[in-house]
Amino acid sequence: MSGPAESEARDDATLGVPTAQPETPNHAADCIVVGGGIAGLVAARELVLAGLSVVVLEASDRAGGKLRAHVVDGLTLDAGAESFATRKGTVADLVERLGLGEDIELPDAAGAWLQASDSDAMPLPKAGLLGIPSVPLAADVIRVIGLRAALRAQLDSLMPGVIGSRETTLGGLVRRRMGARVVERLVAPVTMGVHSRHPDSLAVDAVAPGLRAGLKREASLASTVRALRAAAPAGSAVAGIRGGVSRLVTALVSALERFGIEVKYGAAVVAADASGVTLSDSTRLTARAVVVAAPDRGLTQREGTWPDAEESRIALATLVVRSQELDRAPRGTGVLVAEGCSTITAKALTHSSAKWAWLGEKAGEHRHVLRLSYDARRVEKHDEAAFLDQAISDASTLLGTPLSRGDVLGFARTDWVAGTPDRRAADDGVTRLGETVAGTGLAAVVGHAQREARALAARLAGDAAS
């Protein structure tokens, strides 16, 4: 396999990528990319490969956004996403092209558990899609939702395929076909843990492409899930990268640097339009096109035409603990929490060192990495000690293993904001990327950034030719 330098050099030679930026003071480049997160970096790479000059502006002091890394008890860990969906191969293809393909790793096959109530935990039914059961009367499904709810879900097989096919949200579709208990006890814990969203606020076509179309063809939701699972590539629905998904950011920045493109840090953009951006120091930079790959909160001065999206604030607690009892991974790769668990504040727990073999090896004997996600509104923002105690308490309950402060070797809190996707078209000529337009998940963000950047490059090429 060719390394990143070789593959990118080949692209450079083939496409005639410029190795230096224009020196005209006011005209920064062909394209200005606002935001050095994964969406901005992916878009910048696509634009450069198309032969365009690019300037990347990042307000903070480092790239990566929600894909950055942090160090806890000497371990370099993902501070945000630690996996990506393998569906369509979007992210895996990018990882391969950046020379990291040999480091793609699948999670442990043990799977996750479900905390169905304060006192009842059980393995999550495996034969499903985003918690939607492929066999509603399976024993592991009945154990979670009960026989009566399973019989209601089985009615899905007797309904015409058109019923529910016009529902736009995942929750709405599943509720129509299989009932409310399947939504709340099976689907919601999965989507809250994976997307930090209730299924009623997730666009079904974004998180489960093909589900509605398959429903009309297969005539039942359960059979559609079975068909989609059968058609999926062999292996897990998600994958990670040895050393952390944040390595993707490092590889992208390095690739851009080889093309003479440096991310300009500390460059806060306060306004943007189709012809350029204004920085916080009032400097005006112009370009043939502008790409905004950062939170669009008033940035483009379109008050009243692009309202702020509803936000979900997530607090992530990362614990490194020493515990011999956790060596046997008592709850598999982690635990998803169903609504109604009054003594547990966390939405989900990932036993990261059990989920990823590379991390288990790196952590060493009896040392474990745990990640717990919270609705940030339910935890104290400025009381780290209280947050740590809450995380220890929740981890003890979810893992069925008593933990104390004495077991904690390292702790870190990370806060994220996830915007609700807003796909309304904008007419100001600015290309927008990221979660609020692409949907949640690394695969959605990367795929959208690639498509939009390629379309922009084609448009600029057409403009130059006319």
Note if the pTM is more than 0.75. Answer: yes
**For range 237-265, the mean pLDDT:** 94
Residue with tokens 């947050």: 387
Burial label for 377, CB within 10 Å (0-12, 13-18, 19+), is: exposed
Question: Distance between CA 196 and CA 200 in Å, rounded?
Answer: 12
Check residue 7 and give its pLDDT. 44
- Cross-strand pairs, 412: 318
What pLDDT is attached to residue 169? 94
317 DSSP β-pair partners = 372, 413
- Which residue shows structure tokens 């399947």? 182
Query: For 27, what's the count of Cα atoms within 13 Å in the CB-facing half-sphere?
Result: 8
| 6-10, 44-48, 183-187, 409-413: least confidently modelled range | 6-10
Q: How confident is the model at residue 440 (pLDDT cuts 50, 70, 90)?
A: confident
Sheet holding 238-241, edge to edge: 84-85, 238-241, 104-105
Per the model's pLDDT, the better-predicted residue between 1 and 444 turns out to be 444
Q: Comparing C-alpha atoms, which of 246, 294, 251, 298 is closest to residue 271?
A: 298
What is the C-alpha to C-alpha distance for residues 329 and 398, in angstroms, rounded to an integer? 12
pLDDT 10s digits, 201-229 = 888 988 888 899 888 888 899 999 998 88
Residue 22 has pLDDT above 60, yes or no: no
Provide the β-strand partners of residue 418: 312
Average pLDDT of the chain?
86
Beta-carbon contacts of 284 under 8 Å, excluding residues fewer than 6 positions away, are 26, 276, 277, 278
**Number of C-beta neighbours around residue 95 at 10 A:** 23
Q: Please give the backbone phi and psi of residue 357, each rounded to the nearest 5 degrees, phi first.
A: -60, -40
Please write the tens of the pLDDT for every residue from 176-197: 999 999 999 999 999 887 777 8
Residue 180: CA count within 13 A, CB half-sphere: 1
Residue 348 has pLDDT above 90, yes or no: yes
Of 117-131, 209-223, 307-321, 397-411, the least confident: 307-321
Confidence of residue 466 (pLDDT cuts 50, 70, 90): low
Share of the chain above pLDDT 70, in %: 87
How many Å apart are CA 85 and CA 77, to the nearest integer? 19
User: 215: Cβ–Cβ under 8 A, 6 or more apart, which residues?
Assistant: 161, 164, 165, 173, 177, 221, 224
| Separation of first and last alpha carbons in the chain | 40
* Helix axes 247-258 and 90-97, enclosed angle (nearest 10): 50
Assign 403 a pLDDT band (cuts: 50, 70, 90).
very high
For residues 399-424, average pLDDT:
84
